[in-house]
Amino acid sequence: MDLPVIDLSPYLEISAVDHEPPSLGPELQSLCSEVSRTLRETGALLVKDPRCSVEDNDRFLDMMENYFEKSQEFKRLQERPHLHYQVGVTPEGVEVPRSLVDEEMQEKIKSMQKEFQPSTPMGPDLKWRYMWRVGPRPSTTRFQELNSEPVIPEGFPQWKETMDSWGYKMISAIEAVAEMTAIGFGLPKDAFTSLMKQGPHLLAPTGSDLQRYGREGTVFAGYHYDLNFLTIHGRSRFPGLNIWLRNGQKVEVSVPVGCLLIQTGKELEWLTGGECLAGMHEVVATNRTIDAIESARQQNRSLWRVSSTLFAHIASDAVLKPLGHFANSPLASKYPPICAGDFVELELAVINLKGEKENS
């Protein structure tokens, strides 16, 4: 199954003059409905945004490959465990996939059809990650530790500019999709984007060493959902992402050149009272990954699989609760009001990014 690709251009042209429905016109209205419907049914969406070019993505991937190829000792200089790894680098072996610790999730996996069951990770994730905050932070907040100073590795003069420009561009794409989703769901256009203002958005590329771990079946990121609002990725040079549709079907995602992939997170699930579930996914070395490794080897290219992931968040001090008509949905009581910052801390505690190391 191929996910549809939504070209954001027609919406961007009209949203520049700030139209609200019903003046949006039937074509754009139906485009917005397609966006919200696809997110609801698949938890994912492929988009084309003219502001996010292939060259931008390449420049970012080149720099990150260069970084992840540095020695372990060098990279650990950017590690900030006392800040819950929310800035700087997270080495491989720290992040624990939720499926390894969440018993309810394990039960759910067992009840799934064999062919759709996720790979079983044997331990923590075999991927490095770099966390870089994008966008303005609030001057007063109850959640200071989630809003800490950036870490820049030595010897990368272009770091800040490259991270910020790619990060801002991907946030712009998310904002357009968030507006279209709101319109598609019959909410005010800014229902989501107004809550995203000054949110702790994170550009969080991952690096997986395919030289060391490039065997078929290796799990780079075990079955999980994202705890944030919406996640966006540029195209990776190595395939390997599997997603689960709402109907339980497992789909290997292939992102066409020039496209971006968006996935639904738990904060969106909360705001829609479960109408849009957080999309489950995993990253595993498949036979397509192995083919890509082989051709990278032949062309003498980097064997680090970099994902240019950006987590867009709801502002830490904003309250998560089902919005508008979603407050009346039968599942709304499963989503009681909670401050987004408190919610994120609870979720992080489960996946081991916060905990023992905090006290040492």
* Alpha-helix runs per DSSP H in the chain: 9-15, 26-42, 54-68, 72-76, 98-101, 103-110, 159-184, 193-196, 210-213, 266-271, 287-298, 340-350, 356-359
User: Smallest distance from the beta carbon of 278 to Fe ion, in angstroms?
Assistant: 10
Encoded amino acid at 319, one letter: V
Q: Which is nearer to Fe ion, 28 or 146 (CB)?
A: 146
Please give the single-letter amino acid code of residue 279.
Answer: G
Please say which residue, 127 or 137, places its beta carbon nearer to Fe ion: 127
- Could you tell me the maximum CA-CA distance found in the chain, to the nearest angstrom? 58
Measure the CA–CA gap between 187 and 182, rounded to whole angstroms: 5
Stretch that binds Fe ion, among 168-176, 190-198, 225-233, 245-253 (CB under 5 A): 225-233
Tally of residues, the chain: 360
Counting contacts by CB under 5 A, is residue 226 touching Fe ion?
yes
* Interface region with Fe ion, contact rule CB under 5 A, candidates 168-176, 219-227, 248-256, 327-335: 219-227
**Structure token pair of residue 236:** 């990776």
Q: How far is the CB of 60 from Fe ion (least distance, A)?
A: 18
Using alpha carbons, select from 213, 219, 220, 227 the residue that is nearest to residue 311: 227
User: With respect to Fe ion, which residue has the nearer C-beta, 134 or 323?
Assistant: 134
CB-nearest residue to Fe ion: 226
What minimum distance in Å lies between the beta carbon of 221 and Fe ion? 6
277: helix, strand or coil: coil
Please state the closest distance from residue 154 (CB atom) to Fe ion, in A: 29
- Given the rule CB under 5 A, which of 20-28, 226-234, 249-257, 336-344 is the region that contacts Fe ion? 226-234
Which phi and psi (to 5°) does residue 208 adopt? -115, 130
| 215 CB burial (10 A radius; 0-12, 13-18, 19+) | exposed
What are residue 83's phi and psi, to 5 degrees? -105, 25
CB nearer Fe ion, residue 166 or residue 220: 220
Asked whether 90 and 128 are in contact (CB, 8 A), the reply is: yes
Name the segment binding Fe ion (CB under 5 A); options: 134-142, 155-163, 223-231, 254-262. Answer: 223-231
SS3 244: strand
Helices 159-184 and 26-42 cross at an angle (nearest 10°) of: 100
Residue among 263 and 272 whose Cβ is closer to Fe ion: 263
Write down the least CB distance from residue 265 to Fe ion, Å: 8
CB of 325 to Fe ion, least distance (A): 29
For residue 303, give Cα distances in angstroms to 50, 281, 291.
29, 22, 12
Residue type at 20?
Answer: E
Asked whether position 269 contacts Fe ion by CB under 5 A, the answer is no
Number of residues counted as binding Fe ion (CB under 5 A): 1
Name the minimum Å distance from CB 281 to Fe ion: 6
Of 133-141, 157-165, 185-193, 224-232, the segment contacting Fe ion by CB under 5 A is 224-232
Q: Kindly write out the interface string for residues 172-211 of this chain, putting x where it contacts Fe ion by CB under 5 A and - elsewhere.
A: ----------------------------------------
Give CA–CA dist 151/208, Å, rounded.
Answer: 20
User: Site residues for Fe ion, window 3-32 (CB under 5 A)?
Assistant: none
Q: Cβ closer to Fe ion: 152 or 348?
A: 348
Tell me the closest approach of the beta carbon of residue 74 to Fe ion, in angstroms.
26
Pick the piece of the chain touching Fe ion (CB under 5 A) from 15-23, 26-34, 200-208, 221-229: 221-229
* Nearest CB to Fe ion, comparing residues 38 and 307: 307
CA gap 245, 52 in Å, rounded: 26
- Residues of this chain that interact with Fe ion (CB under 5 A) are 226
